[in-house]
Amino acid sequence: MRIVQITYRYRLEPGSGQTAVLARSAGARRWVWNWALSRKRAYYTLTGKGLTYHALAAALTELKQQPATAWLRDIDSQLLQQALRDLETAFGNFFAKRARFPRFRSIKRDTPRFRIPQRVAIAGQTIRVPKIGLIPARIHRPLAGTPKSATFKREADGHWYVAIVAEQEVSAHTNRTPRTHVGVDLGLKSFAVLSTGETVDNPRVFRTQQRKLARAGRAMSRKQRGSANRAKARAQVARLHAKIRQQRSDFLHKLTSRLVKSFDLISIEDLSVRGLARTKLAKSVYDAAWGQFRTFLTYKADRVDGYVQVIGRFYPSSRRCGACGAANHALTLADRVWMCAQCGSTHDRDVNAAGNIDREGVRLFMHHVAAGHAETQNACRASVSPANAGKAR
């Protein structure tokens, strides 16, 4: 057996009093972050050394005893300590060159949120939160496993959500030989084409809501800044964006779950999403959410002891004939159907690419399992332009 972490996200339905307490808790987290960051910067200026978490935690305890900051005693202690730990992690990421220097949190720009590492539990259709009590919530699915940390966050549309991380026991990896396998060719015209011949239509979620978004944005721009009507219009824009995000996530979850349940080995390409996002196709690339698709596919396959094989981005899946293996170097993006000059086979571009991805994925997987080392063969010395690396085919 092995332990995996699964996140459950529920929408909260707090009353007016509970909403105020949630906002106050988020404000306390922001205040402690800014206070600790100021202390660390001042201490480094004086001594040239860093201030540790334990020193800040002790100072925070003393701070609660002072009359001016006695209000901190009304906030859960673990919530405040978690803010100090988050700041420590931020500095660690900065020194490891994974992030920039931590900045002060602005009350206008910082998203209201806080995290409690323990003691948050589900009780019926409510969430039990320390120092707040039972908050009604939409428990759309039961929480399985041992709950750990809980993150509370208010989205731009004004609704509060809680994300609870739970630990579950699943079966260990068996390194079994996959019995069923499929290749997935991602694209923009069709979201995906499978090596089985199935085509998954691209929902184009953002494109379908673009006119509504534009109309809501124009309505908001006509409202006076700082007015209640502008706040309502801004909330309407946020609700539209939330709807787009939820529709896209729903589509990806359903597709990846179906693939993982149907196939033991799923092969996909290592697309350069970041590179494509710099082209004129940026809006369509972000709307397709290929990176999110790969993330969902990877963790879901891991849970059920499946495999996801990633093919190198320079592998010529579209140019290679699936029948004889000959490469068609004259193939262009406009050629959706082409004939092999060597064997005369006629190929649908996307179906042929998916089949090649499937075969290459099986080969790489068997090579890795049988030989015990990673595959290193790539498109070395091939005619590949770095500027077009990972371009949609």
Domain identity same for 23 and 100:
yes
- pLDDT for the residue numbered 77: 94
The mean-pLDDT minimum among 9-23, 81-95, 123-137, 341-355 falls in 341-355
Asked whether residue 393 is assigned to any structural domain, the reply reads no
The pLDDT score that the predictor gives to residue 259 is: 95
What is the structure's pLDDT at 276? 87
What is the model's pLDDT at position 321?
A: 85
Q: How do residues 180-193 score in pLDDT, each as one tens digit?
A: 999 999 998 899 99
Taking residues 91-110, report their average pLDDT.
93
Residue 298 belongs to a domain: yes
User: Residue 365: what pLDDT?
Assistant: 87
Distances from the Cα of 49 to the Cαs of 37, 91, 310, in angstroms? 14, 13, 45
Q: Give the active site residue among 76, 88, 269, 360.
A: 269
Among residues 170, 202, 221, which one ends one of the domains?
Answer: 170
- Helix 290-303 to helix 228-262 angle, to the nearest 10 degrees? 50
Mean pLDDT within 313-325: 82
DSSP letter for 103, please: -
Query: Based on the domain organization, do 109 and 237 belong to the same domain?
Result: no
Do 142 and 191 share a domain, yes or no? no
pLDDT category of residue 169 using cuts at 50, 70 and 90: confident
Give percent of the chain with pLDDT exceeding 70: 94
Average pLDDT, the chain: 88
30-34, 141-145, 324-328, 341-345, range with greatest mean pLDDT: 30-34
Sort 258 into a burial class: Cβ within 10 Å, 0-12 / 13-18 / 19+.
Answer: exposed
CA nearest to 208, candidates 243, 156, 164? 243
Predicted local distance difference test score (pLDDT) of residue 370: 54
Please report whether residue 305 resides in a domain.
yes
Same domain, 117 and 205: no
Q: Of 170, 193, 209, which residue constitutes the final position of a domain?
A: 170
- The confidence score (pLDDT) of residue 251 equals 96
85-95 pLDDT, tens digit each: 999 999 999 99
Residues 229 and 360 in one domain: yes
Q: What mean pLDDT comes out for the span 228-257?
A: 94
Region 320-349: mean pLDDT is 79
Q: Tell whether 203 and 130 lie within a shared domain.
A: no
Catalytic status, residue 305: no
Is residue 86 domain-resident? yes
Q: Are strands 265-269 and 199-201 parallel, antiparallel or unpaired?
A: unpaired
CATH number at residue 220: 3.30.420
Q: Give the per-residue pLDDT at 74.
A: 93
User: Is 264 part of the annotated catalytic residue set?
Assistant: no
Same domain, 166 and 255: no
pLDDT of 389: 45
Tell me whether residue 175 is in a domain.
no
Using the predicted structure, report yes or no on whether residue 310 has a pLDDT greater than 70. Answer: yes
Main-chain phi, psi angles of 163, to 5 degrees: -115, 110
Percent of the chain with pLDDT strictly greater than 90 = 65
pLDDT at 373 over 60: no
Is the per-residue pLDDT at 254 higher than 80? yes
Q: How many domains does the chain have?
A: 2
| 56 inside domain | yes
Which of 361, 180, 378 shows the shortest CA–CA distance to 269?
361
- Weakest-pLDDT range from 1-10, 169-178, 299-308, 384-393: 384-393
**Which helix or strand (DSSP H or E) is residue 273 part of?**
helix 273-276
Domain that holds residue 305: 181-388
Q: Are 11 and 131 within one domain?
A: yes
Q: CA 346, CA 323: separation in Å to the nearest integer?
A: 9
Assigned domain for 176 exists: no
Of 170, 197, 219, the residue that ends a domain is: 170
Range scoring the smallest mean pLDDT among 83-92, 330-339, 380-389: 380-389
- Tell me: pLDDT of 379 over 60: no
Whether 32 and 129 map to the same domain: the answer is: yes
- Statement: residue 385 has pLDDT above 70: no
Band of pLDDT at residue 372, cut at 50, 70 and 90: low
Q: How far apart are CA 324 and CA 80, in angstroms?
A: 64
Confidence of residue 382 (pLDDT cuts 50, 70, 90): very low
Instruction: State residue 256's pLDDT score.
Output: 96
Whether the predicted pLDDT of 375 surpasses 80 = no
Q: Identify the band that residue 390 occupies on the pLDDT scale cut at 50, 70 and 90.
A: very low
User: Is residue 32 assigned to a domain?
Assistant: yes
Q: Is 157 a catalytic residue?
A: no
The helix/strand/coil state of 338 is: strand
So what's the pLDDT on residue 393? 43
Are residues 111 and 191 both part of a single domain? no
**Cα–Cα distances in angstroms (integers) from residue 253 to residues 108, 183, 190, 203, 258, in the given order:** 33, 18, 17, 13, 8
Say what the pLDDT of residue 98 is: 93
Which whole number is the average pLDDT over 105-112? 91
Catalytic residue, chosen from 76, 88, 185, 360, is 185
* 211 and 307, same domain (yes or no): yes
Mean pLDDT across the stretch 300-317? Answer: 88
Residue found under tokens 């049988």? 370
State whether 366 and 234 are in the same domain. yes
